[in-house]
Structure 1
Amino acid sequence: MRAAVHDRYGPPEVVSVRDVAEPEPRESEVLVRVVASTVNRTDTAYRAGRPWFARPLYGGWRRPRATVLGCEFAGVVEAVGEAVGDRAPGDRVYGYVEGRFGAHAELLVVPAGGWIDPVPDGLDLTDAAVLTEGPHYAWAFCERLHVGTGQAVLVHGATGAIGSAAVQLAAARGAVVTAVCDAEHADLVRRLGAHRVIARDRTDFTQDPERFDVVLDAVGKSSFAACRRLLRPAGAYASSELGRGGVNVLLAAAPGVRVRFPAPLPEGPTRRGIHDLITSGRLVPVVDRHYPLEEIVAAHHYVESGRKVGSVVVDVG
C-alpha cells in the first residue's frame, strides 16, 4: 500500500510517499481503507520533533517511533478481527488515532475500542475526516472552563481547526461568542455562531473595551499577560499551546492564577458529545484545501504557513 513515511525529524521534506507492507487486524482491531485524512498542527509538530524536550514522551529521542503520521481519518471498513462484533466490512467510519497515528496511508488498523464511529447519514467521508482533532481540543476548552449559557467568550484564532470548533461548541452551549480573525473571514465565523467579530488585521483585540468570562487562544499566538485585561474578575484564560518555556502549564499549576491548561479529556464522553453535535448539525466541517497523498509535503508546508482556515484534507483513497 502507499503511505507517507518519515524516518527522522525535520522539515516537511523528510516525508516521502512509499510502498509499505499492508497491516493486518488482530482479533480486536478494525482494518479501515482510508478515504481522507488531514495534516494538522499535531502532525507537523510530531514530524519536526517539537518541542524537543517532549520527544521521549511521544516519539523517541533520536528518531520518530510512529513513521506514518495522520491522526484523523474517515473511510470504509475493509476487514475486522474475530472479536469485533459491532463493525462489518463496508461500514463508513471516522475517528481519531493520535499517538498511534497511521492515517496517512491507504490502510489503517484501529482498536475496536478506540475512537472509531459510524459516519452520520448524509455526511461526506471527507467532511467526517476533519471533525475529531480540532473539536476534541475545543471540547476540552469548554469543559475545563465551564463554558455555559450567557457567558461572554472570546476565541482568538477563530478560523483554525480548533478555533472554528470552539466557536461552534461555545455557541451550542449558549455562550455569547466574540471571534477574533482576519476581516475576510468575518462572515464565516458568524455562520459558525459568533455574535461579534474583531478583525485581527485591523485592530488589536487585546485592547477591546469588553470584558469576558473566558478567553481562548486557539492558535497559541498570544499570552495570558497580553489578554489579562480582557478578563472579568472571575474570568479565565486558556491556550492551545504550551507557551514559551511551557509558561501556560506553569501558570495553570500556580495557585490563584486565572490560567487553565485544558488537556484533552478521556475519549468516551468527548466522542459521544462530538458525535451528537455532528449528527444534530450543530458542529459542521470547515475545510480549506485538499491535497492528494502524493502532495503531502506541500500540505505540511501550507499548514505551517499559518494561513489555513479550518482543516487541510489529504485525499488518500
Structure 2
Amino acid sequence: MRAAVYHRFGGPENVRVEETPRPTVGPDDVLIRVQTSTVSAADHRARSREVPRGLGLLAATGIGLLRPKRRVLGMDAAGIVEAVGTDVTRIAPGDEVIAMLGANFGGHAEYARVRQGDAIARKPRNMTFEDAVTLVFGGLTARGFLKQADLAPGAAVLVNGASGAVGTAAVQLAADAGAHVTGVCSAANLDLVTSLGAQRVIDYTTEDFTAEAATYDVIVDCVGNAPFARVRHLLRPRGALLLVITDLPGLLLAPVRSRRTGHLVTAEVGKSTAEDLAVLVDLAEAGHYRAVRDRTYDLADIAEAHRFVDTGRKRGNVVLRLTGEQPAPSSTAQQTEEASS
C-alpha cells in the first residue's frame, strides 16, 4: 500500500510517499481502506519533535528518541471497512466508518487497522468522507475535556484558540450544551467562530482576554498560553480550566491545584471511546455539529500539507485525501459564504 512515511525527525521534506506492507488483521481487528485522514497539530509535533517546554523526554517514549517509532503518522481515519477479524461483531466489511487511531497513528496510509473496542463508528450519513473525518481528532479531544466539566445550560465558557481543530469543536459542543461561549481568535476568524455558536469573540491581536472583568465557569486552552496562574482570577468558584496544551509544570501541577483551590484543573483528555464518537456522529446527523475544513491535500502533496500546518494558521482541519477522487469544496469557505448570505 502507499503511505506517507518519515524516517527522521525534522521538517516537512522528511515525509515521503512510499510502498509499505498492508497491516495484518488479527481476531479483534478492523482493517479500514482509508479515504481521508487529517494532518493535525499532533502530527506536526510528532514529526518535528517540537513539544511544549519540559515534555521532550515524555514525548520520546511515544514517538521515539533518535528515530520515529511509528513511521506513518495520522491519528484519525475515515474510510470503508475492508476486512474484520473473526471476533469482530459490530462492524462489517463495506461499512463506512470514522475512527480514532490515537498514539498508534497510521492514518496517512491507504489501509489502517483499529481494534473493534477502539473509538470507531459509522460515519455520518449526511457527510462526505472529507468532512466526516474532521469529527474525530478535534471532536474527540474537545469532548474528552468538556465532559469533565459541569456544562450546565447558561454556563460561561471561554475557548482560547477557537478557530483550530479542537477549538472549533469545543465551541460547537459547548454551544450545543446551552453554554454562553466566548471565543478567542484572530479577527480573520471572527465570522467562522461566531457561526459555530460563539456569542462573543475576542481578537487576541488587539485585546488581552485575561485583562477583562468577565469570569467563566469553564476555560478551554487550546493554545498553551493560558496557564492557571494567568487565568485563575477569571475562574468562577469551582470553575474548570481544561489544558488541551500545556507544558511539564502545567501537567504536573494540575492535580495539585485542583486539590488546593477547588477548581478543576486538568491536562488529561481521557480515553476516547466508540460511544464518544457515536455522540459526535449523532450531533452531525442532527445538524448540530458542522465540519470545519480549511483545505484538502492529496497524499502525493503530504509535505505541502505539513508545511501549511506548520504555519499554525489553519482554520479547523487540514484533510488528507488517500483516494483519487476530487475533494468537495472547503467546508470553511462554504460556511463563511452561508453565514454572510
TM-score scaled by length of structure 2: 0.87
Residue 261 (structure 1) aligns with: 266
What is the aligned residue count?
A: 316
Q: For 1:129 and 1:219, how far apart are their aligned partners in 2?
A: 22
Gaps of at least 5 residues in structure 2 are: 324-341
> Which residue of structure 2 aligns with residue 4 of structure 1?
4
* 8 Å Cα contact 2:149/2:264 also seen in 1: no
> Is 1:303 equivalent to 2:306 in the alignment?
no
Segment drifting more, 307-316 vs 277-286? 277-286
Q: Aligned with 1:144: secondary structure?
A: coil
Give the Cα separation in 2 of the matches to 1:104 and 1:168: 27
Tell whether the 8 Å contact from 2:121 to 2:278 is kept in structure 1 after alignment.
no
The answer to whether the aligner puts 1:43 opposite 2:43 as a matched pair is yes
1:71/1:101 contact within 8 Å kept: yes
8 Å CA contact retained: 1:140, 1:262? no
Could you say which residue in structure 1 is the equivalent of 2:284?
Answer: 278
Query: Partner of 2:101 in structure 1?
Result: 97
2:62 aligned with 1:58, yes or no?
yes
Alignment of 1:166-177 (within 5 A): 166-177=170-181
CA displacement 1:91-139 (0-9 Å, x = unmatched): 2111110122111001112212222211121211111111111111211
CA distance in 1, matches of 2:88, 2:236: 50
- Whichever residue aligns with residue 305 of structure 1, its letter is T
Quote the Cα distance in structure 2 between the aligned partners of 1:124 and 1:272: 16
Whether the 8 Å CA contact 1:43–1:69 is kept in 2: the answer is yes
Corresponding residue number in structure 1 for 2:128: 124
With normalisation by structure 1, the TM-score equals 0.93
Greater CA deviation, 80-89 or 93-102? Answer: 80-89
- Tell me the equivalent position of 2:235: 231
Query: Structure 2: how far apart are the matches of 1:270 and 1:96?
Result: 11
Deviations 1:285-304 (A, max 9, x none): 10011111111112122112
Selected match of 1:143 from 140, 144, 147: 147
Residue in structure 2 matched with residue 288 of structure 1 by the alignment? 294
Alignment-mate amino acid for residue 149 of structure 2: L
Check the 8 A contact 1:38/1:73 in 2, yes or no.
yes
Q: Is the partner of 1:267 in helix, strand or coil?
A: coil
Check conservation: 1:145, 1:260, Cα contact below 8 A: no
RMSD over aligned Cα, in angstroms? Answer: 1.9
Deviation string 1:27-73 (CA, Å, 9 cap, x unpaired) is 32122111110011111112223332113431233222211110111
2:43 alignment partner AA: D
Residues 126-205 of structure 1: pairs in structure 2 closer than 5 A: 126-205=130-209
Contact (CA 8 Å) 2:144, 2:272: kept in 1 or not?
no
Distance 1:178 1:55, change over 3 A: closer
- Corresponding letter in the other structure for 1:67: R
Separation in structure 2 between the aligned mates of residue 67 and residue 95 of structure 1, nearest angstrom = 19
> In 2, distance between residues paired with 1:249 and 1:216?
18
- 1:189-233 Cα offsets, whole Å, 9 max, x none, are 121111111122222222223221222111213332332332234
